[in-house]
Amino acid sequence: MDNKTRIKILELSFNIMENLLMSKDFKSKEEVMTAAKKAVEISNKDEKMPLEVKMGYAEAYKKLEGLSWEEILEIKDIIGSDD
């Protein structure tokens, strides 16, 4: 995979994370991960969705998985303060 594609996937993953985290008032990391897993599954089933977008969802899931609940809340606060 070339660098341009990798950068596009990373940018998509951050956008996906932002949209997911702001879509609902999650009460736990488990809720976040359940929603993220469902999003990955839906993207994988969509035959018309470009591979880069599917990979963006998978990358977002991986990033969220590596975060603590406190880190997720901090990210939500940062995103929310941009309004």
Per-residue pLDDT tens for 34-80?
999 999 999 999 999 999 999 999 999 999 999 999 999 999 999 98
Residue 83 has pLDDT above 60, yes or no: no
- State the sign of the Cα–Cα–Cα–Cα dihedral 65, 49, 41, 82: positive
How many structural domains compose the chain?
Answer: 1
- CA atoms of 45 and 70, how far apart (whole Å): 31
pLDDT confidence of residue 1? 84
Tens digits of residue pLDDT in 71-80: 999 999 999 8
pLDDT confidence of residue 54? 97
Tokens of 61: 């899931």
Give the 3-state secondary structure of residue 19: helix
Residue 10 domain boundaries: 3-80
* Closest of 76, 9, 62, 53 to residue 33, by C-alpha: 62
Model-level pTM? 0.90
What's CA 49's distance to the chain center, in Å?
16
- CA atoms of 56 and 38, how far apart (whole Å): 14
Tokens of 60: 């977002």
